[in-house]
Chain A
Amino acid sequence: MVQFLFFYFAIAVIGLGITIVNSRNPVHGVLLMLVLFFHMAGLYLLLNAEFLAAVQVIVYAGAILVLYLFVLFLVTLREEVRISPFIEKGYWMGFVIAIAMFITFIKGIQNFTLGEHGAYTIEKIGQLTHTKAMGEAIYTTYILPFEVAGLILLVAVVGGIALAKRERKGA
């Protein structure tokens, strides 16, 4: 059952991804992206990571994608987007980049070992609940990266406000 669900989610994610890239109507693309995020959340659920699954939907589907939609509404209006290729005569460059990426992924996967690692075993996470286990890991072991990420986001927020705010005359 779990394996069946995994393959369903995995194949759906890949299929939806390809459909999104190929869809000419950007709003349809966003809708399919929404479905894709739900399948990603399903994959997280299969890993017993229920907190991540919920946050995935809340943050990506609930906030980021709505902003995308907002931008699409303000920029393009319903017409299908037709633009000439970014690099006119260089299809081979695309192939080179794709093959290079593929080799990088293959090399990366070789370092991946199956099984559990570290202090948080499946039993321990099940006992603590995933939310608590993740909170503990973030606020103790990984507090520095967490704070750094927070600082980077703060810089982005300040930058966004600085860009959006018009200067008042005489100020």
Chain B
Amino acid sequence: MELLWILVKILIVFGVVMLHVAYATYFERKVIGHMQVRMGPMRVGPHGLLQPIADGIKLFFKEDVIPTPADKQVFYAAPLICLISAVSSLAVIPFFEGFAIANINIGLLYIFALSSLASYGVVLSGWSSNSKYAFLGGLRSSAQVISYEIAMGLSLVGVMMMAGSLNLTDIVHAQMSSSFKIYLIPQFLGFFVFVVAMLAETNRTPFDLPEAETELVAGYFTEYSGMRFALFFLAEYIGMIIMSCIGVICFLGGWSGPFHVPGLPFFWFVIKVYLFIFFYYWVRATLPRYRYDQLMALGWKVLIPLALFNIVLTGTIKSISG
């Protein structure tokens, strides 16, 4: 019976997230369109509302081209690795009080572990395509993700220290009972590092070097087409949603809000996640791409020392205040 309930929960979460992913692409095109003083998609349905469905059908029926010199097995496996690692992260995220598919003690570490797996999909897709552009994209991505994963992990250590737990539900509870209600205020340094590392981890502008259109055609997925291309696309957007969820859970107080909304326990969670996602689009429409050496310098010389300083600071304050 419990197994059945878990399966139902998996189906609910998966379905809802897939729907959100579809409309996150629509939201992105609309937001960026309006920021650039144009309308965005308008043709399919009222205000282009059916655009994501049309896109999905198009991608599904497109020819699946596989380059002759590609390493077939790895070429097939790479997009699946990306997608599976992104989707499995959803399992530990508590969307509201008492609703997580698996409420495990090492929730945060589990997400780190899976996000490190996602970089394999990118690297291997670049390698297996046997194409220069894809390969360069894969190499860039592997170096970038390793560098920024360290910064991201360290930026969340402050949160772990304050909450005294790695369990995501416990982190939210600890925030509710803390004096500021959210960790954004005492952990502002950690939050800054987290937000920058979040953009880099999901390969989004201004850190989208692995898929820089002007240099690498499309980067690591240049040789992919049809449904396999769509899998990468899905993985990227689910990755964005996951990162936003972690940000909301660790810094913005999870599902808690200024007042209770009856019947919608996930109301504040969704609002906060969409704030993060809007921030992603805002940054994309505003900032130019970093150069590769700037990216590395920022990661290693600014973010990691800042995150380390934040850990020392948090530890000192915690031991003084007892």
Contact = CB atoms under 8 A, between A and B. Distances in A.
Interface of A: 25, 27-28, 31, 34, 41, 50-51, 53-55, 57-58, 61-63, 66-67, 69-70, 73, 78, 129-131
A139 to B, nearest CB: 12
B106 A50 contact: yes
Contacts of B110: 54
Interface string B132-151: 00010001001101100100
B104 A50 contact: yes
Nearest to B105: A129
Contacts of A55: 109
B106 A34 contact: no
27 contacts: A27-B71, A27-B124, A27-B127, A31-B77, A31-B120, A34-B117, A34-B120, A41-B113, A51-B109, A54-B109, A55-B109, A57-B113, A61-B120, A62-B117, A62-B146, A63-B149, A66-B119, A66-B123, A66-B142, A67-B146, A70-B142, A73-B127, A78-B71, A78-B130, A129-B105, A130-B106, A131-B106
A70 B139 contact: yes
Given A51-B109, A63-B146, 8 more contacts: A54-B106, A54-B113, A58-B109, A61-B116, A62-B119, A67-B146, A73-B139, A131-B166
A47 B69 CA distance: 44
Nearest to A67: B146
Nearest to B126: A73
Contacts of A27: 71, 74, 124, 127
A72 to B, nearest CB: 9
**Most A CB within 10 A of own CB, among B74, B104, B117, B145:** B117
A127 B235 CA distance: 37
Nearest to A131: B166
A58 B113 contact: yes
A67 B48 CA distance: 44
> B interface, by DSSP: helix, strand, loop or mixed?
helix
Size band of the interface chain B makes with A: 20 to 34
Contacts of B214: none
> A interface, by DSSP: helix, strand, loop or mixed?
helix
A129 B130 CA distance: 46
B106 A61 contact: no
B104 A69 contact: no
Contacts of B319: none
Nearest to B112: A58
A121 to B, nearest CB: 18
Nearest to B135: A73
Nearest to B107: A54
A28 B117 CA distance: 16
A62 B105 contact: no
Interchain residue pairs A-B with the least CB separation, the first 6: A62-B116, A54-B109, A57-B113, A50-B106, A129-B105, A54-B106
Contacts of A54: 106, 109-110, 112-113
A62 B130 contact: no
B116 A28 contact: no
A34 B77 CA distance: 13
A28 B113 contact: no
A131 B113 contact: no
A54 B110 CA distance: 6
